[in-house]
Amino acid sequence: MADQVELFYAPQTRATGVRVLLEELGAPYKLNVLNLKLGENRTPRYLAVNPAGKVPALRVGEAVITEQVAIYIYLADLFPEKGLTPSLDDPLRGPYLRWFVHMASCFEPALIDRALKREEPPHSMSAYGSFDTVMESMRAQLAKGPFVLGERMTAVDVLWGMGLRWGTMFGIVPEFEEFTAYIERFAERPSVVKVLQEDQNMAREQEDAAVQAGVA
């Protein structure tokens, strides 16, 4: 890698999973930490990186990548020697991409509708079908093995490990046995332990800074 990986970051956000993935890849990276409580994600400088003002965002050389699924796929492909991405001719490549997109197009929209107590759209118009269908589909997939793709861990497990963890913490995702066992295994990984602990410390420091600035 000639170009440094720079991750625009805020603790306890979707960017947390990206940092876990970088740790799993053993990739060198630079953290560009933003304090969302101070509005650092709404400055002209950061909006030039991501006009939505959201994290994560990634910069590698001249390339800027936003949207968490795109970032996961990009990073795993950037370090193929780490074995966290199936090659293009691997039969697992299709299912690997499927479950990445399922998170963005089905799982998260279903969770948001449920969290906001919004009525589900008609099945014929819904991007995800129904909340129960989304949950049962993932439940069935995780019943096949310890990882999303069965016996092999890939980058998509970091995405789902974080997504299911957050969803159950907030009481939105049902606590199916398949989900809880998967989350417990994921939470024991050294990369997860390290990043979540550092996130707690970082979040505390940012809260203190916001209090001192009178915006907390």
**Of 39, 33, 37, whose CA–CA distance to 53 is shortest?**
39
Separation CA 103–CA 109 (nearest Å): 9
**Of 94, 35, 107, whose CA–CA distance to 68 is shortest?**
107
Given a contact cutoff of 8 angstroms between Cβ atoms, the answer to whether 33 and 9 are in contact is: yes
Peptide bond before residue 11 is cis, with ω within 30 degrees of 0: no
DSSP-derived pairing of the beta strands 57-60 and 5-9: antiparallel
Contacts (Cβ under 8 Å, ≥6 apart) of 100? 69, 72, 73, 156, 159
pTM equals: 0.96
Residue 115, helix vs strand vs coil: helix
Per-residue pLDDT of the chain (216 residues; tens, 9 = 90+): 557 899 999 999 999 999 999 999 999 999 999 999 999 999 999 999 999 999 999 999 999 999 999 999 999 999 999 999 999 999 999 999 999 999 999 999 999 999 999 999 898 899 999 999 999 999 999 999 999 999 999 999 999 999 999 999 999 999 999 999 999 999 999 999 999 999 999 999 999 999 999 987
Tally of CB atoms within 10 A around 170: 10
Separation CA 215–CA 77 (nearest Å): 40
Separation CA 72–CA 19 (nearest Å): 10
Given a contact cutoff of 8 angstroms between Cβ atoms, the answer to whether 50 and 12 are in contact is: no
* pLDDT for the residue 3: 73
**Partners of 33 in beta bridges:** 9
Side chain identity at 128, as an amino acid letter? Y
